Structures are given as structure tokens and as C-alpha cells.
């Protein structure tokens, strides 16, 4: 049973019509056009600079932020890839998770503000994310490297891990996927039944956002939809999903396919919780963040 606070937040999201922005392909195209005219900021909040050393570099066209513990050597490294249906920038809940990782896990976080769709398509985006992951792993030093992504960012993270495995065989210490979007086709037969209870996501808009991200690639190309790629040889994976999330089908499919390929999977499915609940200010979100912190700390110990 979800907590009272979680139920209240879910009800508020439903009442606010949060998923209207994904209600149709036209709504997504309108949003993309507005963003092209007036791009949203991806800057971290000033409050992060009070507890972390924050800097920015560029990898090609990508601004890449570094946030490290202030006055202390980081215990481990994290590549965090944000969600937003591939069409939205970093927002405050993403930065709040980064703050938690820096302050509670003593992690050095690398946070790319990747180019959004339709300018940023999978064939361009996945190779850059792979290079970032490879460089972070190769930077060596004490501690491990944890790859974390939420929603669309989790799909990009998994695709990068698969590509790096194919390229060099290297892997991070662990992969953490929060409400991952792993198949952009939105054709799973169970999704239509899940959609009415989802307070945040809607199938038509997700399908259009996925189409924009795919560009010239097929929707089932593993670069676009890593659920269709091989899981063999990947690092251990931790997954968080909620049952009021139309994308929970992707998490369940990952569980079966990854274990069939011999990959260790730690699976958390929270009854009654919505999309990306580990980022939300609810007790279940706090518990999930505590688990993520413990996993990042464990990576530091090898």
C-alpha cells in the first residue's frame, strides 16, 4: 500500500493533468517547437554550489556538468543521464538526486545536458554517451563507476553500456535504471491497460517523442530501444519501477531478458507508485534514494 503522501501526490498529478503534455503527437510537436524558440535552462540550481564543487565543460555540443564533494576526495564516480522523453532538459528533481549522490555517497557526478530530440537522435547521442562512460571508467583511481539513468535517460544509459561492451568489453561497477524507457515503440500489449492509472505519461505522446529520437533508425534498433539488444556481459543492474507507470512493462521485460542472459538484476517494483517515484518527495522515494546511495557507496569498496 502506498503511503498517504504518495497517494496524495499521485492524486494531485492526476488533477493537474500532468500527462496532457504527452496526450497526443501534436502536443509533443508543439512542445518541441516551443522549446526550439525558447530553450529551457539546464543549469544546476545555485543551492548545489553550496555543497558541491560544480564546473562545466563541453563535449562537442554537449554541456557536461561535474559536481564533486566539497573539501573531500570523491569515493566513487557516477555518470547520471537525465530523463524527459528525450525532449526535456534537466530539471530540479534531477539535480536533487545529484545533490544526494554528492553529499550522501561522496560521489563525483558527471551530468551531461545532451542534445534533445529531434536534433539529438540515437545515432548521434548514444556514441557520445558511450564515450563519456568509457572515459569515466578509464579515469581510474580509487572507487568504481556507477551508471545511473531515469526514464529516457535510463534508456540512453543502457544503450551506452551495451555499446561499450561491444566496443571494448568494459563495464561500470553497476547500472541503476529508474523507471526506464527501453522500447520507444510503445507497443507492449499491457500498456493500454496501465495507461488510465498513470498520472504522468500517455502513450500517443511517448510514441511521437520516441519517433523523433529514433530519427532514421528503426524503432526496434538497440541504439533506440535497448530492450531489443543483448544483455550478456553487462554489469549488474538495479531497477526501480512503480505499478502506476505505463513503462513498467519495460522494466518487467528487462528483468526476464537480462536474467536469461546471465545478468544479475536487483528489481524493485513499488505497488501504486508512479513514474520516476525515486525522484519524488515521498517516503518510498526516500527509501529508493537511500538504496541508490548504498549501491554507489558499495561501488567504492570494489
138-163 pLDDT, tens digit per residue, is: 987 667 999 999 999 999 999 999 99
Q: pTM to 2 decimals?
A: 0.98
**Cell digits of residue 134:** 568509457
Q: Which of 150, 198, 245, 250 is catalytic?
A: 245
pLDDT number for residue 46 = 96
**Catalytic (active site) residue 256:** no
**Cell digits of residue 88:** 526535456
**Catalytic (active site) residue 179:** no
Sign of the CA dihedral with 177 first, then 183, 188, and 194 last: positive
Confidence class of residue 15 from pLDDT cuts 50, 70 and 90? Answer: confident
Contact predicate 82/109, CB 8 Å? no
**Catalytic (active site) residue 151:** yes
Q: Which of 134, 151, 173, 225 is catalytic?
A: 151
Domains of the chain by range and CATH? 4-38+50-300 (3.40.50.1820)
Q: Which of 42, 94, 268, 275 is catalytic?
A: 275
Half-sphere exposure of 48 (CA within 13 A, CB side): 23
Q: What residues form DSSP beta bridges with 108?
A: 77
Amino acid at each position: 500500500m502506498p503511503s498517504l503522501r504518495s497517494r496524495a501526490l499521485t492524486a494531485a498529478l492526476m488533477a493537474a493533468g500532468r500527462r496532457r503534455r504527452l496526450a497526443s503527437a501534436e502536443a509533443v510537436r508543439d512542445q518541441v517547437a516551443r522549446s526550439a524558440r525558447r530553450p529551457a535552462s539546464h543549469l544546476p540550481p545555485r543551492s548545489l554550489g553550496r555543497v558541491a564543487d560544480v564546473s562545466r565543460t563541453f563535449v562537442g555540443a554537449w554541456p557536461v556538468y561535474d559536481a564533486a564533494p566539497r573539501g573531500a576526495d570523491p569515493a566513487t564516480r557516477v555518470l547520471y543521464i537525465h530523463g524527459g522523453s528525450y525532449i526535456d532538459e534537466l530539471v530540479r528533481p534531477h539535480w536533487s538526486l545529484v545533490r544526494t549522490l554528492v553529499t550522501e555517497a561522496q560521489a563525483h557526478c558527471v551530468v551531461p545536458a545532451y542534445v534533445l530530440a529531434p536534433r539529438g537522435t540515437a545515432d548521434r547521442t548514444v556514441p557520445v554517451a558511450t564515450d563519456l562512460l568509457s572515459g569515466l571508467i578509464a579515469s581510474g583511481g580509487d572507487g568504481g563507476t556507477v551508471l545511473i539513468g531515469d526514464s529516457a535517460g535510463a534508456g540512453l544509459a543502457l544503450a551506452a553500456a551495451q555499446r561499450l561492451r561491444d566496443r571494448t568489453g568494459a563495464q561500470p561497477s553497476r547500472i541503476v535504471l529508474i523507471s526506464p524507457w527501453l522500447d520507444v515503440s510503445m507497443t507492449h500489449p499491457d500498456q493500454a491497460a496501465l495507461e488510465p492509472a498513470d498520472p504522468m505519461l500517455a502513450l500517443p505522446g511517448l510514441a511521437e517523442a520516441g519517433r523523433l529520437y529514433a530519427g532514421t533508425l528503426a524503432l526496434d534498433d538497440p541504439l533506440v530501444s535497448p530492450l531489443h539488444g543483448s544483455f550478456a556481459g553487462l554489469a549488474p543492474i538495479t531497477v526501480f519501477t512503480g505499478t502506476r507507470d505505463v513503462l513498467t512493462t519495460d522494466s518487467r521485460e528487462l528483468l526476464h531478458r537480462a536474467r536469461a542472459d546471465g545478468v544479475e538484476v536487483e528489481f524493485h517494483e513499488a505497488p501504486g507508485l508512479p513514474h520516476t517515484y525515486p525522484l519524488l518527495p515521498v517516503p518510498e522515494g526516500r527509501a529508493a534514494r537511500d538504496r541508490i546511495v548504498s549501491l554507489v557507496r558499495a561501488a567504492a569498496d570494489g
